[in-house]
């Protein structure tokens, strides 16, 4: 019976060890994900700053020369439309 109890204690210790190892690995993984989330957050903040700067630049450019802004916008719209039509295979039917 004492051999049986020793085996039970050994199994319990093994289970405790495996559980602790799994908990440590989960903690390490969570810390790694947290670091990645922080980096992604910083990247998003940087991107937001750049988008805000671009928006301010465009606003100033439009206010400085509205006719040029309309012409450029029309040209870009025509180019995007042509690319979309070409990508969708429009215009040529076989």
pLDDT score of 17? 80
CA gap 14, 7 in Å, rounded: 10
Residue 72 burial (CB count, 10 A): 13
Residue 69 burial (CB count, 10 A): 15
Percentage above 90 pLDDT, the chain: 15
pTM (two decimals): 0.45
CA gap 84, 80 in Å, rounded: 6
CA gap 40, 44 in Å, rounded: 6
Residue 87 is classified by DSSP as H
* Domain boundaries defined on the chain: 2-87
Tell me: the pLDDT tens digits for 1-46?
A: 577 677 777 877 887 887 788 888 877 777 777 777 778 888 888 8
| 37 vs 83: which has the higher pLDDT | 83
Residue 90 is classified by DSSP as T
């Amino acid at each position: 019976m004492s051999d049986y109890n020793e085996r039970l204690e050994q199994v319990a210790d093994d289970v405790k060890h495996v559980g602790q190892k799994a908990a440590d690995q989960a903690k390490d993984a969570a810390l790694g994900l947290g670091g990645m989330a922080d980096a992604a957050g910083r990247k998003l903040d940087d991107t937001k700053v750049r988008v805000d700067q671009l928006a301010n630049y465009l606003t100033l450019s439009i206010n400085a020369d509205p006719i040029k802004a309309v012409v450029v916008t029309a040209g870009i719209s025509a180019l995007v439309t042509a690319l979309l039509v070409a990508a969708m295979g429009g215009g040529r039917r076989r």
